[in-house]
Amino acid sequence: EIVLTQSPATLSLSPGERATLSCGASQSVTYNYLAWYQQKPGLAPRLLMFDASTRATGIPDRFSGSGSGTHFTLTISRLEPEDFAVYYCQQYGSSPPYTFGQGTRLEIK
Amino acid sequence: ELQLVESGGGLVKPGGSLRLSCAASGFTFSNAWMTWVRQAPGEGLEWVGHIKSKTDGGAADYAAPTEGRFTISRDDSRNTLYLQMDSLKTEDTAMYYCYTFFRGGQQGLWGQGTLVTVSS
């Protein structure tokens, strides 16, 4: 089972700033099949990125994903008020289980 | 409109059973790999398992904590996904979501979730 470790656990930033969220894998993620999700309180998650660097339909271009192998990054270039939420990474490249990271809480400073 | 709607959650005693449903609409359900994800109160997301489309073999895979107790199935004629949960434990208390990913459409689709509470 691949273990995903997200850092930091909490990130405190102001609107307009740049956010960098990390996701490390215990072993290489096959085909870089890694997704990022955003979740706001009381709502279902929302797919932001898949295959490490492809934005899902309707996701603003201030969101970008990068990385390969065991280290992946989600970058939000200029934070908008609606971006403050919890972010999860998930790998779906190797055999199941398709594990999630523990999440990064992005909070307003 | 693309939609997934879960139902069947509720309060159940430890050792009991519950069957969740996920009704799909707006897409060709039979072609979709379908996934169950759960989230315990105040916790992160946990992959429960998935079921492949019948054209891809139709097999289901499970996370270790649920294997042997949970069964994922599908009825393509009813466009419905199921999660049969047996021998429930207090640690199974969570919001349960169904989910699918459309690679061609580059989007993911989540249901609104259904809450399962396991308590005596």
Whether A50 sits inside 8 A of B112 (CB atoms) is no
Residues from B contacting A (CB-CB < 8 Å) are 35, 37, 44-47, 49-50, 61-64, 97, 101, 103, 105-108, 110-113
Q: What distance lies between CA A96 and its chain's CA centroid? A: 19
Q: Which of residues 34-53 of A touch B (CB under 8 A)?
A: 35, 37, 39, 44-47, 50
Instruction: Assign residue B54 a region (left: φ > 0; alpha: ψ between -120 and 50; beta: otherwise).
Output: alpha
**What mean pLDDT is predicted for residues B111-115?**
98
Residue B61 confidence (pLDDT): 96
Whether A97 sits inside 8 A of B110 (CB atoms) is no
Q: Cβ contacts (< 8 Å) between A101 and chain B: which residues?
A: 44
- End-to-end distance of chain A based on CA atoms, in angstroms? 35
Residue A28 confidence (pLDDT): 96
- pLDDT band per the 50, 70, 90 thresholds, residue A92: very high
